[in-house]
Amino acid sequence: MIEKYLEKIPVKELYDDLFKPGMKRAGEALETVLDGANLILLPLKLLNSKSRVYFQKNLNQYSDKLNKAENLNPTQVPQYVGLPIIDKLTYLDENELAETFINLLTKASFEETLSLVHPAYISILNRLSVDEAKILFHFKNQSRIPFIDIYIHRYIENIKKPDFFDKKGVKSKAQIKQMIDYSTQDKQSTSLKAAWNLTGIENQVELLFPKNIDIYIENLELNGLISFERKLHSKSDEVHYDKLINEDYKEVKDKIESSLSEFEKTEFEAELDIRKCFIEFTELGRGFLLACIKEIE
> Tell me: the pLDDT tens digits for 30-78?
888 887 766 556 777 777 888 888 989 999 999 999 999 999 999 999 9
Structural domains of the chain, count: 2
Residue 4 reports pLDDT greater than 70:
no
- Contact assessment for residue 81 and residue 108, using Cβ atoms and an 8 Å cutoff: yes
Mean pLDDT of the chain: 88
* 3-state SS assignment for residue 157: coil
Q: Is residue 12 located within the same domain as residue 87?
A: yes
Q: Is residue 207 located within the same domain as residue 278?
A: yes
Res 12: pLDDT: 66
Q: Where are the alpha helices (DSSP H) in the chain?
A: 2-7, 11-18, 24-29, 31-37, 42-46, 49-68, 79-88, 96-107, 119-125, 130-138, 173-184, 201-204, 213-222, 238-243, 250-264, 283-288
Q: Is residue 151 located within the same domain as residue 278?
A: yes
Q: Which pLDDT band holds residue 270 (cuts at 50, 70, 90)?
A: confident
- Contact assessment for residue 52 and residue 89, using Cβ atoms and an 8 Å cutoff: no
Q: Which amino acid is at 27?
A: G
Give all strands (DSSP E) within the chain, no chain letters.
144-156, 188-198, 226-229, 271-281
Q: Is residue 67 located within the same domain as residue 17?
A: yes
Res 17: pLDDT: 67
Q: Is residue 276 located within the same domain as residue 150?
A: yes
Average pLDDT over residues 279-290: 98
Residue 24 reports pLDDT greater than 60:
yes
Q: Is residue 55 located within the same domain as residue 151?
A: no
For residue 266, the enclosing domain spans 144-155+194-286
What is the separation of C-alpha 142 from the centre of its chain, rounded to a whole number of angstroms? Answer: 12
Q: Is residue 223 located within the same domain as residue 96?
A: no
| Residue with the larger pLDDT of the pair 19 and 216 | 216
Measured between alpha carbons, how far is 101 from 132 in angstroms, rounded to an integer?
14
CA-wise closest residue to 108 among 100, 117, 99: 117
Q: Is residue 254 part of a domain?
A: yes
Share of the chain above pLDDT 70, in %: 87
* 3-state SS assignment for residue 277: strand
Q: Is residue 148 located within the same domain as residue 110?
A: no
Res 127: pLDDT: 97
Res 268: pLDDT: 57
- Contact assessment for residue 149 and residue 197, using Cβ atoms and an 8 Å cutoff: yes
> Tell me: the pLDDT tens digits for 202-233?
999 999 999 999 999 999 999 999 999 999 99
Q: Is residue 89 part of a domain?
A: yes
Q: Is residue 108 located within the same domain as residue 238?
A: no
Share of the chain above pLDDT 90, in %: 59
Q: Is residue 219 part of a domain?
A: yes
Q: Is residue 151 located within the same domain as residue 274?
A: yes
Measured between alpha carbons, how far is 142 from 233 in angstroms, rounded to an integer?
15
> Tell me: the pLDDT tens digits for 133-175?
999 999 999 989 999 999 988 766 767 778 888 888 878 888 8
Q: Is residue 178 part of a domain?
A: no
Q: Is residue 243 part of a domain?
A: yes
Res 36: pLDDT: 72
Q: Is residue 8 part of a domain?
A: yes
Q: Is residue 28 located within the same domain as residue 74?
A: yes
